[in-house]
Amino acid sequence: MSARETITDFGFKSVNVLHRAVMRLGIGKKGYGMPVVELHTTGRKSGLDRTTVLTSPLQYDGTWIVIASKGGNERNPEWYLNLVANPDVEIHVDGEVHKLRARTATPEEKAELWPKILVAYKGYGNYQKRTTRDIPVVICEPA
C-alpha cells in the first residue's frame, strides 16, 4: 500500500468516526440530501461487528441501496469486502434496525439503478471517473 493510500484510508476512517458521532448526537439525518445510515457488517477476518456510516441514494420496499464508492479510490472499501464475505447485514437509521441480506447488483440491475443513483447524488458519477474499477452498487434486501 502506498503512502497516499494509507493517508486516504486514515482520512476515510477519521471521517467515519466523525459521522458516527454526529449521528449519535442526532444531528446528521441527511447527507447530500440522502438518508444517512449505519451499516453493520461482520469483519471477514476478525468476525467482529463493524460499523460504517454511509448515505443511501435509493430505498424502496424495505430495500436499501448503498454505493461502494470510497470516493473513487482504486480499492473497494473494507465494508464492501466484509459484506461480500458475510452478506447478512443490519442498517440502522432513525432509531430503527433493518436486518438485511446484501448483494452486489448485477450489471443489468446496475444499468437500471445507476441513472437514479446519479439523480440522488451526481457525485457518484465523479467518483466513477476517478477510478478504473467498476464501483459496486449494493442492494440490501429484507432477509
Over residues 118-140, the pLDDT tens digits come to 999 999 999 999 999 999 999 99
Helices (H) and strands (E) in the chain, counts: 4, 8
80-114 burial by CB neighbour count: b if 16+ within 10 A, else e?
bbbbbeebebbbebeeeebebebbbbeeeebeebb
pLDDT of residue 27: 39
Superfamily name with CATH number, domain 3-142 = Electron Transport, Fmn-binding Protein; Chain A (2.30.110.10)
Whether the per-residue pLDDT at 18 is higher than 60: the answer is no
pLDDT (average), residues 17-44: 68
State whether the Cα torsion 136-37-62-123 is positive or negative. negative
pLDDT of residue 23: 42
Residue with cell 440490501: 140
Band (143; pLDDT cuts 50, 70, 90): confident
Q: pLDDT tens-digit profile of 61-72?
A: 999 999 999 999
pLDDT of residue 21: 46
pLDDT (average), residues 45-59: 97
The domain segmentation of the chain, as residue ranges, is: 3-142
Whether the per-residue pLDDT at 20 is higher than 50: the answer is no
Whether the per-residue pLDDT at 17 is higher than 50: the answer is no
Output the average pLDDT for the chain: 86
Beta bridge partners of 93: 96
Smallest Cα–Cα separation from 99: which of 110, 109, 88? 88
Per this entry, what is the length of the chain? 143
pLDDT (average), residues 24-33: 54
This prediction's pTM: 0.81
